[in-house]
Structure 1
Amino acid sequence: MTIVTSHTVTPAGGAGNGRVRHLVDQRLGELLDQELARLGFLGEEGVDLVRRHLAAFARDGGKRLRPAFVYWGHRAAGGTAADLGRVLNAACAVELVHVAALLLDDVMDEAQERRGRPAAHAALAAEHRRAGLRGDPARYGESQTALLALLALAWADAALLGSGPHLADALDVLTRLRVEVTAGQQLDLAGTAAGADTGRTRTIALYKSAKYTIERPLHLGHAVAGGEPAARRALSAYALPLGEAFQLRDDVLGVFGDPGRTGKPAGDLRQGKPNHLVAAAKERTGPRGAALLDTVATEEDAAAARELIVSCGALDAAERRIAALAGEAVEALDALPGLPGDARAALTELTVLATDRSR
């Protein structure tokens, strides 16, 4: 097993984050190969299924945003190049948790595509049909995907075992991350079933996005470095407004996003998912707006709902809020004691990446 033991610290934020993504991709590939090699008892076909629907999905991931926050949380807490292998293992653990969450999210949302390709449960159901296997193809696809998600969570723990002498603290953070995102998803499902006002959508955003995407990954890097409590508090002051802005941007994309760019359907209107933009529009327009926003069944309905969200000012208010929260996050970096220049540049750039999402 190869462990990366050195790296180049780059003062430019873009180059620094690009380098981190390369290192995470490299280490994640090594971990996936290591774990696949342990599955020989599944037989060639079983290992191939895991390789195609879990390992390949993990390798061909998104922007590696959460691993980047792990890395820079480590750097901000005083971590050095000597700990690179350890922090990369922790970063990969978070990414594998995210892989599990995406697999399950697609099942719960009945999404047929992810990143421009069939979602795992849909692809597995199609394989079942083509092979003429026994049982219900849809149930087979969903069940296999649930098991793949459980496997990804187990692999996350395996990755974290290599995070060094502060393993107990790191495991505590990773456990909190998993509990919070699971509870946030439960709130999201309840909100879909019963409806959600702006207060409820903010709570969902806190646990499903702000803590999961930004705060806990930063805390994980901090834990691996054995950082001081003051640095952890300062990281939270940066993370929480940025996390809220991240979810607000996600809500905007859930209504107005182009699936070809976001990699997922813009289906919040039709699915009735808790969405701050929709909740704010209902509050601004009253029963008339709620009647329209709660009954979106066709693309024509969706177009009318989008027009209402724009005309009532909810979209403009969300954009202003995103900008204000991003500014608050960047200002919070001033309170981080001894923040290295490369970490400041990278975290500033990550603020843009988390709130723009157009690149």
Structure 2
Amino acid sequence: MHPVEFTTDASDGAARAGTAVTATGSYTTPLFMPVGTRGAIKYLSAADYERIGAQIVLGNTYHLMLRPGSELIERFGGLGRFAGWGGLTLTDSGGFQVFSLDPKVDDDGVTFKSTYDGSTVRFTPEDAVRVQQELGADIQMVLDQCPPLPSSADVVRQALERTTAWAARAKQAHTRVDQALFGIVQGGISETMRAESAQRTVEIGFDGYGIGGLSVGETRDEMLPALAAAIEHLPPDRPRYLMGVGDPASLVEAVGLGVDQFDCVMQTRLGRHGTALTSTGRFQAKAARHAELDEPLDANCPCEVCARHSRGYIRHLLQVGEPTASRLLSIHNIAWTIDLMNQMRSAIAAGTFHELRRGVLDVWG
């Protein structure tokens, strides 16, 4: 048996609602996965993830291997147990850090400086697999090279070739049968390179497929054709994961093209800076107009924050620099996004996805 079996429960055009069964648990799609970079979503605990309705929480391989170290987490029984989280976990490969920290990259791997103590760290595709096997996530990602956009065709081509070669090496190195391994498609905004990368990654053969290197500087209009070109060549019985994308317009557009799962730090980053996501758009909760409003952030939101707290109270917390405000807004933004995914799932099943998409784009497009 493959570690991940994906079944389409309903479809509406290319949009699909599915169930993915891993060796260690299952999840339903479309799915938003919050990011717990250093083993926690900032200001939240595993008990919060459960109440919010998260199914998979991400961990960051780069940060966790440096502090506290993957061997220590392995001794605790893996990342989920270490964090007290009973749901599923996914670890990224460190590829995005490769993109953002500007290390030395060669055909064999990457050399970068630790953000913690400045020491030099060497990281190969095999290292990425070994570290993630020790971290023990239910799903691990191969090491990839993510070119910034815009980049020249030569730079995008080199990243595609390296990512493909590294993916083959990662598959060879991966030995944990209870842990799924996802490949990653690159290719910038070139439709031909996206299609080629998808085909070559599928030929290697993975439990699921990440689509990386998007939402890194290009417009949504540039992103969507490249995304569609990749999806066309990905197998229907495997999950498709658009990495690092979480704005509502991109979520609904990507689901409309056939993407199943997403992650993003946007929800919590905005929350920490006082911004709320709502069905009428985003707003700055600190604005003076909220001072006397005895109403929730979003009257349509089912989350615990909207059930209990007023805009006036949250604005007060922000005004006085009370960290509880960041916590409440982070919980709301994640819960609101998960609810949006649940609405998409229901709309796909009902055959009304087009109407939902139109409504989301009217507000967020």
TM value normalised by structure 2: 0.28
More helix by share: 1
Which structure carries more relative contact order (alpha carbon 8 Å, separation 6+)? 1
Determine which structure has the larger strand proportion and give its number.
2
